[in-house]
């Protein structure tokens, strides 16, 4: 039942219900803090995980939410071209202040204040996606078309496959 969700996951559940996707959030006992952990817990490919990453504009101070596949990273020079200013990775404090969620649980919708959202085109090629739902144990399933619709995000090409470290 929805009432069993933690407060942050419940906020995401409500944001999704407002957008026509009720009852999607699931809280798992295993951690879903990183894309690799989430894929393991769900039993899907890492590429099907939506990473929600916050960047700050160096000139404007604007926070941007960038969505890429779990196997990708954001090419910051491409992102800079897209948004028209240099960008830096947001600190954990800025992520929390701007979105209302801690790193590892940042969802693609349900933020404290609306922020510009950019969707990497590669996400839209996946058959099915899973995204964080407010906590490092909460996720929800959605189709690529649903991601585009509920976020209203601008589709861009900023993702590059992450090299193994
Ligand atoms: N729950 C999973 C997906 S279901 C999740 O939230 N994955 S994530 O990729 O969107 O969020 C974790 C990401 O936060 C990491 O990939 C990493 O890029 C970023 N991150 C981790 N630590 C920091 C940090 N100290 N500062 C900025 N970003 C960080």
pTM: 0.95
Atom nearest to 104 CA in ligand 1? 6
pLDDT in tens, 16-61: 999 999 999 999 999 999 999 999 999 999 999 999 999 999 999 9
Report residue 88's pLDDT band, with 50, 70 and 90 as the boundaries: very high
- Output the CATH code of domain 7-161: 3.90.960.10
Report the candidate in 74, 60, 61 with the shortest Cα–Cα distance to residue 122: 74
Q: Which atom of ligand 1 is nearest to the CA of 130?
A: 4
The percentage of residues in the chain with a pLDDT greater than 70, rounded to a whole number, is 98
Cβ burial, residue 151 (10 Å; 0-12/13-18/19+): buried
Within 6 A (CB) of ligand 1 lie 32-35, 38, 49, 51-53, 89, 91-92, 103-106, 131-132, 136, 139
Q: Where are the domains of the chain?
A: 7-161
pLDDT at residue 52 in the model: 98
């Amino acid at each position: 039942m929805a009432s069993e969700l933690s407060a942050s996951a419940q906020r995401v559940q409500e944001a999704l219900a407002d957008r026509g996707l009720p009852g999607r959030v699931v809280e798992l006992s295993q951690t879903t803090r990183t894309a690799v952990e989430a894929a393991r817990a769900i039993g899907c490919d890492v590429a099907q995980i939506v990473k929600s990453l916050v960047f700050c504009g160096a000139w404007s101070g604007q926070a941007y939410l960038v969505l890429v596949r779990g196997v990708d990273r954001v090419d910051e020079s491409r992102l800079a071209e897209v948004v028209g200013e240099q960008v830096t990775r947001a600190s954990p404090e800025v992520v929390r202040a701007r979105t209302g969620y801690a790193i590892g649980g940042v969802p693609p919708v349900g933020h404290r204040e609306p922020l510009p959202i950019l969707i990497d085109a590669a996400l839209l090629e996946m058959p099915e996606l899973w995204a964080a739902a407010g906590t490092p144990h909460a996720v929800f399933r959605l189709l690529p078309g649903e991601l585009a619709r509920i976020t209203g995000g601008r589709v861009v090409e900023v993702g590059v496959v992450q090299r193994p470290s």
